[in-house]
Amino acid sequence: MPKLPTDAMAADTGHLVTVTPLEGGWCVASTFSTLPLVFFSGAQAEQSARRLALTLAGAGRDAHVIVRDRRNVQIGTVCYFGAEDIADIEPAA
């Protein structure tokens, strides 16, 4: 089983979402939930991880996606920055 992201890992990057290999599939784990998602396809896993990160960013939370290959080597990373709440932004006078 891959190492799941922890709250300590996310202290500097916001929510952490990882895509890691499993025997016969792929795991999407995050600091947002203690339950990982499992996929047969790496492409489906990466798409799910990006969708989760976009959802978190839309809710105003930063999210960092890390993708690993079958050798468990990091091959990609993407940061999604939280959207600012429009109500908190004062209109220009």
Start-to-end C-alpha separation, the chain: 55
CA nearest to 8, candidates 57, 33, 79, 16: 16
pLDDT at 26: 97
Q: What average pLDDT does range 76-87 have in this prediction?
A: 79
Q: What's the pTM value of the predicted model, to 2 decimals?
A: 0.76
Segment 27-75, tens digit of pLDDT: 999 998 889 999 999 999 999 999 999 999 988 899 999 999 999 999 9
Burial class (CB in 10 A: 0-12, 13-18, 19+), 36: middle
Q: Tell me, what amino acid is at 48? A: S
Whether 16 shows a pLDDT value over 90: the answer reads yes
The whole-number average pLDDT for the span 14-21 is 93
Q: How confident is the model at residue 80 (pLDDT cuts 50, 70, 90)?
A: very high
Task: Please compute the mean of the pLDDT values over residues 9-34 and round it to a whole number.
Answer: 85
